[in-house]
Amino acid sequence: MALSRDDLFRPFHEAIKPPDRWRIGAEAEKFGVITETGAALPYDGERGITGIFAALQQRGWTAVSEVEGGPILALTRDGASVTLEPGGQLELSGAPLADVHAIAAETNAHLAELHSITDPLGISWLGVGFHPFARQEDLSWVPKLRYAIMREYLPTRGNRAVDMMRRTATVQANFDYGSEEDAMLKMRVALRLSVIVTAMFANSPFYEGRLTGERSERAKVWLAVDPDRQGLLPALWKADSSFADYVEWALDVPMFLIKRNGKVIPNTGQTFRTFWKNGYQGETADIHDWELHINTLFPEVRLKHTIEVRGNDSQSVPLAAAIPAIFTGILYDAAALEAAEKLTASFTFDEMQSLRPEVAKLGLAAKLRGKPVADTAQAMLGIAKQGLARRARRAPDGQDETVYLAPLESLAARAQCPADRLLADFPADPSKFKAEVIRRTKL
């Protein structure tokens, strides 16, 4: 069926749900390395992704392939999935859960299961935003059809695009919305805060076996990926923004591909708007094409059937839980959301855009209007903490969700990000580099 203009809004309108049905989703990526050498895991083999996936299948996970008989690219179980990024980064995409306690429990259970398989194989999992050792030539390519197209197209748009695909790792969090107005308010606040959050969670000071002197190589990479499909979405910063603003932006982003009958047709020469109006190779746009397209957009905060906050380096286990916690406190409490809107109301797109490279370099020591970003981070943390306290979701031990902010509060009070902690008293002896990085980043 031909795609109508109303269809363009359907994924967003259908996602609207009342607050009692709001859930939280977390996605956490990590690098697997051979502990003794720091070598990246290959795709194939017992000490590679296929071997790990085979072992997980024996524990009840179901294999997912793009085509029948094709390579296994993901696993699913109980609403969660384990997926692969292009360089073999392993990602847990968690089930939609009621609170941060459940997310933390899910993460811990996933890691325990993974360790039971990989510890005997001498494999370590690293929570860090950029691969600390691997060169591009050291990494396998995961054989997903979309990745082959991205591999050819994205380097024409940005000189760090392949690094983004294969050498970065992130922790994301996903949130529901109750109306178009609610979605746009949450998008606006999250976009304004995204650079501050990137600074708070900067955690990638390594590059190809050396210290960079900067705080987030991953954040630096994201400055040069694809200007059409990444960034801070200036159209959504205005107070009267709407789904239409997001749709109009997405329509003018070039496509990657379309899928027909289990086959992929590359299409990087058209924006979706042009495909919608004119078709391509005899194919006309349908709702599945549109939903696929909006899943290939990479802004710092993305709108789909949820709102995804995407601007964070991968983290240690305690700090990974802080990412859904801080946004849950702000986005799921009306008073906190109002306070965050007031905190960020005067932020402009241009000043936050210009702050991005400074944050990559300096983390919370970067300056916003002459003051350390740490000051704004602490104000944000205070708002989030109050929101979580009002939610009053308690674990069996009686602690509410504010407990997950404690490691972040400790760092922010010292104007430090996780990278500062990684770098503290780092040994100067190059022969100790790999072992020390693994020790400090191991999950």
- What average pLDDT does range 346-368 have in this prediction? 98
pLDDT (0 to 100) of residue 2: 84
- What average pLDDT does range 367-380 have in this prediction? 98
Q: How far is CA 301 from the centre of its chain?
A: 9
Q: What type of residue is 125?
A: W
Q: How far is CA 224 from the centre of its chain?
A: 17
pLDDT (0 to 100) of residue 67: 86
pLDDT (0 to 100) of residue 406: 97
Identify the CATH assignment for 5-253+297-441 out of 3.30.590.20, 2.60.120.260, 3.30.70.380, 3.40.605.10.
Answer: 3.30.590.20
Q: What type of residue is 12?
A: F
pLDDT (0 to 100) of residue 21: 98
Q: What is the pLDDT of residues 246-302, one digit of tens each?
A: 999 999 999 999 999 888 999 998 999 999 999 999 999 999 999 999 999 999 999
Which residues are registered as beta bridge partners of 258? 265
Q: Which two tokens stand for residue 309?
A: 């906050």
pLDDT (0 to 100) of residue 135: 98
Would you say residue 129 has pLDDT above 80? yes
- What average pLDDT does range 57-85 have in this prediction? 95
- What average pLDDT does range 33-54 have in this prediction? 96
pLDDT (0 to 100) of residue 49: 97
Distances (CA, A) of 316 to 13, 201, 243, 422: 36, 10, 35, 11
Per the CB < 8 A criterion, the answer to whether 329 and 388 are in contact is yes
H/E segment holding residue 99: none
pLDDT (0 to 100) of residue 68: 86
According to the 3-state scheme, what is the secondary structure of 7-22?
HHHHHHHCCCCCHHHC
Domain residue ranges in the chain? 5-253+297-441
Percent of the chain at pLDDT above 90? Answer: 98
Q: What is the pLDDT of residues 86-100, one digit of tens each?
A: 999 999 999 999 999
Q: Give dist(CA 89, CA 429) in Å, integer.
A: 28
DSSP-assigned states of every residue in 59-88: TTPEEEESSTT--EEEEEETTEEEEE-TT-
Per the CB < 8 A criterion, the answer to whether 121 and 55 are in contact is no
Q: Residue 418 — pLDDT band, cuts 50, 70, 90? A: very high
Q: What is the pLDDT of residues 191-231, one digit of tens each?
A: 999 999 999 999 999 999 999 999 999 999 999 999 999 99
**Cα 369–Cα 375–Cα 378 angle in degrees, nearest 5:** 145
Per the CB < 8 A criterion, the answer to whether 212 and 219 are in contact is no
Average pLDDT over the chain reads 97
Q: What type of residue is 306?
A: T
Q: What is the pLDDT of residues 26-37, one digit of tens each?
A: 999 999 999 999
Distances (CA, A) of 16 to 39, 229, 299: 44, 24, 21
Percent of the chain at pLDDT above 70? Answer: 100
Q: Which two tokens stand for residue 76?
A: 């699913």
| DSSP-derived pairing of the beta strands 24-34 and 90-93 | antiparallel
**69 or 298: whose pLDDT is higher?**
298
Q: Give dist(CA 201, CA 315) in Å, integer.
A: 8
Across 235-353, the runs of DSSP E, i.e. the strands, are 257-260, 263-266, 298-299, 301-303, 307-309
Q: Give dist(CA 65, CA 75) in Å, integer.
A: 9
Would you say residue 1 has pLDDT above 90? no
**119 or 1: whose pLDDT is higher?**
119
Q: Residue 376 — pLDDT band, cuts 50, 70, 90? A: very high
DSSP code at position 442: B
- Residue 106: Cβ within 10 Å count: 19
pLDDT (0 to 100) of residue 204: 98
Distances (CA, A) of 427 to 130, 233, 419, 431, 436: 20, 41, 15, 9, 8
Q: Give dist(CA 158, CA 218) in Å, integer.
A: 14
Checking phi first, is residue 262 left (phi over 0); if not, alpha (psi -120 to 50) or beta? left
* CB within 8 Å of 249: residues ≥ 6 apart: 233, 235
DSSP-assigned states of every residue in 45-60: STTSHHHHHHHHHTTT
| Alpha helices for 79-211 (secondary structure H) | 100-118, 145-153, 161-167, 180-200
Would you say residue 361 has pLDDT above 90? yes
Q: Give dist(CA 29, CA 107) in Å, integer.
A: 11
Which residues are registered as beta bridge partners of 372? 367
Which residues are registered as beta bridge partners of 174? 25, 308
